[in-house]
Structure 1
Amino acid sequence: MVKVLLVEDNLKISENIVEYLKLDMNIEAVYNGEDAIEYLNAGSYDIVILDLMLPEVDGMSILNYMSKKGLNTGVIVLTAKEELGDKLKAFNLGANDYLTKPFFLEELKARINAILKSMGKIKKPNLIEFKDLYIDMKTKAAYIKDEKLELNEKLYTLLQYLMINKGVLLFKEQIFDNVCGYDSDASTEIIEVYMSRLRKILATYDYDKYLITKRGMGYLLNENLED
């Protein structure tokens, strides 16, 4: 999954961006420049969304730091400033794009994807991702951190259906129709068997915790374990 570092001191803007992007990207948020540099030192990110007007260390200084470190990270600058000089300075320091506040979240996401595509960091369109779990719908194979999962056809179909509907509660009958087919003679209870087998496979990678059972209701694949 794409890793994003958001550096924005406006709490409301930060919360809105995180809420909008969190289902499709692994996003972490910090609120000042010093923390941003600590995070950049400690981890690797595909994209940094960077406000220029920050406490402690400003955005330009962070760009300068990233440039000197030679980080292979895309940068989108967010700022209320519209002066040409600021834009040129940001681009000269390695920023890939520049978004002036206020902005639409849809545009931010589109620009992120454009940068990732230009950097060769977007995987093939036939892939569906959930954290480090992804499936290739063309080859009908599933992987966690590039290690292939041993799934039969039914378990693959089940996992694909859960991933396509990640974060959405699916009733047992819905899952049965999509995995077994409307004209199947099997009982819907077979879904519990499939779920148990899939859970055991995911447990090897500590991913069974994301396969949530809502008793009397259904199942969902969810990153937020508190839901």
Structure 2
Amino acid sequence: MRILLVEDDHLLANTMLDMLREEPNTVDWVDDGRQALHALAEEHFDLAILDLTLPRVDGLDIVRQVRQQGNDTPIIILTARADLEEKLQGLDAGADDYLTKPFAMAELKARIRAVTRRGQGGSRSAELAVGRLTLNTDTGHLSIGGDTLALPRSEFLILHYLMRHPDQVATRRRLEEQLYGWDQGAESNALEVHVHHLRRRIGKATIRTVRGVGYLLDSQAAAEAPPCP
């Protein structure tokens, strides 16, 4: 999952980055509202975690503008403001959840799971299923029929995205964003290597190459995926 963290308290942000990256997440961080608006307009994120009190553009204005633009990225607001009226304003503006500082990191993780599952159609399950493939999004384990294996982080992130969008083309850029966010230095063929390893696990035909564009998870081929090697 790719997350945008918008927090101007650098000490808190670094703590949160360490915590969020313990899971198979790619996390990008900005510390002011204008950067957040630009990031949300130009790139794809599975979730935004947003402080309300930010330089240049206030968090509530960010939520309003993002929703007015038709962007439905799930948003969790973090703030030291405990006033009920401001909480209601954030939710009315289009935020999906609201957490008051100070908070326990375990609670934030639970809110993230709840919000992202609502975004997947309200399912309470931590599993994605396409054909014979079942991916546990909490543990990173892949099951094919009755066989189960733990996926490396990079393979998990690729397969997670493809299974959320079966039979739809995922561009190279979109998949690389899931893997690296704004980090630089990935080798030019790194994505191909990860896809190659995934194909060895789930069957070559299950992930199709769309030449010059990217990759596609074939749901029909996934229904015939071989057992885990």
> What TM-score do the two structures reach when normalised by structure 2?
0.58
Query: What pairs with 1:14-163 in structure 2 (closer than 5 Å)?
Result: 14-22=13-21, 23-120=23-120, 123-124=127-128, 126-127=134-135, 136-139=142-145, 160-161=149-150, 163=152
Q: Measure, in 2, the Cα distance between the counterparts of 1:203 and 1:87.
A: 43
Q: Measure, in 2, the Cα distance between the counterparts of 1:29 and 1:36.
A: 9
Cα deviation code 1:67-123 (max 9, x no counterpart): 101112111100000111101110111111110000011110110100111111765
RMSD across aligned positions (CA): 3.0
Structure 2 unaligned regions, length at least 5:
156-188, 198-229
Quote the offset at 1:124 in angstroms: 2.1
Distance of aligned partners of 1:81 and 1:163 in 2 relative to their CA distance in 1, 3 Å threshold: same
Structure 1 unaligned regions, length at least 5:
142-156, 167-201, 211-227
- Kindly tell me the number of residue pairs found equivalent between the two proteins: 152
Quote the offset at 1:42 in angstroms: 1.4
> What TM-score do the two structures reach when normalised by structure 1?
0.59
Q: Measure, in 1, the Cα distance between the counterparts of 2:32 and 2:191.
A: 38
- Alignment-mate amino acid for residue 6 of structure 1: L
**Structure 1 runs, 4 residues or longer, greater than 4 Å off:** none
Q: Choose 1 or 2 for highest CA Rg.
A: 1
Quote the offset at 1:18 in angstroms: 0.9
Q: Which of 200, 205, 212 does residue 192 from structure 2 map onto?
A: 205
Quote the offset at 1:207 in angstroms: 3.2
Partner of 1:13: 12
SS of residue in 2 equivalent to 1:13: helix
**% same residue:** 33
Q: Measure, in 2, the Cα distance between the counterparts of 1:29 and 1:43.
A: 13
